[in-house]
Amino acid sequence: MKVAAQQPAPLSGAPGVPRHVAIIMDGNGRWAKARRLPRIAGHKQGVEAVRRVARAARELGIEALTLYAFSSENWRRPETEVRDLMGLLRHFLASELDELISEGVILRVIGDYTKMAPDLVRMIDDAVARTAGNPGPVLVIALNYGSQAEIVAAARTLARDVADGTLAPDAIDEARFAGALATRDLPPLDLMIRTSGEQRLSNFLLWQAAYAELVFVDTLWPDFDGKCLAAALEQYGMRERRFGGL
């Protein structure tokens, strides 16, 4: 019997591989607390997990990976923690950009990141611009992101077009609405993962998750790695997606 040639690494769009995966990276604080360390230590390890998982996602052939890094509600945390998180973001952008470029990754940001410090806004704009022409995959970081605000902004954009007379109210359908969201040019969301045992969406990609498969794992984000991602993809592969049909 002929032995099949070894398969190459899965390509984007490989059967069973979700095109777009989103992760609510939760549990950094609890990871640190369990070790009697300050919360920042958990966030630092969380950044290491981001590097590992972004790499693993590329190897698995995922076209778009969207990571929830800072929610519009996370400003409610103590000022020192917010400052630490912004510092880590600066560090991540500075240290990771070369690898993202050499790996052909397109970096994108969703959320109102312009409310962050001016130097950070410049760093983000620069990183996004320098990776825009890459072939992909896409790494999307959600910063100062809130799904309800995103939906409201889309409604406002469409309302303006109606008021201008450039859009008829009847022309607003699901596709038109999705086209006004920050995720407009990303593949549909297939899989949403949340770490740390919490089972809620915390204002993340509410519209986009309409038919996404949800996977909740107890692993705390700093412990999450390529194996955990592969395990979530395996669960995804066993789900039967019906989209309301039979």
Query: By the criterion CB under 5 A, which residues form the site for Mg ion?
Result: 26
- Distance separating alpha carbons of residues 159 and 121, to the nearest angstrom: 28
What is the end-to-end Cα distance of the chain in Å, rounded?
Answer: 38
CB 14 within 8 A of CB 55: no
Q: Name the active-site residue from 74, 112, 134, 203.
A: 74
Is 198 a residue that touches ligand IPE (CB under 6 A)? yes
Q: Which stretch binds ligand IPE (CB under 6 A): 69-77, 89-97, 120-128, 151-159?
A: 69-77
In the block, residue with structure tokens 């070369």: 98
How many CB atoms lie under 10 A from the CB of residue 14?
15
Residue nearest to Mg ion (CB): 26
- Are 138 and 103 in contact, with CB atoms under 8 Å apart? no
Q: Would you call 74 a catalytic residue per the annotation?
A: yes
Residue 134 binding result from ligand IPE, Mg ion, none, given CB thresholds of 5 to 8 Å by partner type: none
The residue assigned the tokens 């519209």 is 207
Crossing angle for the helix pair 79-102 and 39-60, to the nearest 10 degrees: 30
State the minimum distance, in angstroms, from the CB of residue 176 to ligand IPE. 29
Dihedral angle computed from the Cα positions of residues 39, 41, 47 and 51, in that order, rounded to the nearest 10 degrees: -150
Residue, CB closest to ligand IPE: 29
Binding part of the chain for ligand IPE, among 23-31, 128-136, 152-160, 236-244 by CB under 6 A, reads: 23-31
To the query of whether residue 164 is one of the catalytic residues in this protein, the response is no
Span of 54-62, 65-73, 146-154, 206-214 interacting with ligand IPE by CB under 6 A: 65-73
- Please report, as ranges, the residues that interact with ligand IPE according to CB under 6 A: 24-30, 68-71, 74, 85, 196, 198, 200, 202, 221
Catalytic (active-site) positions: 26, 74
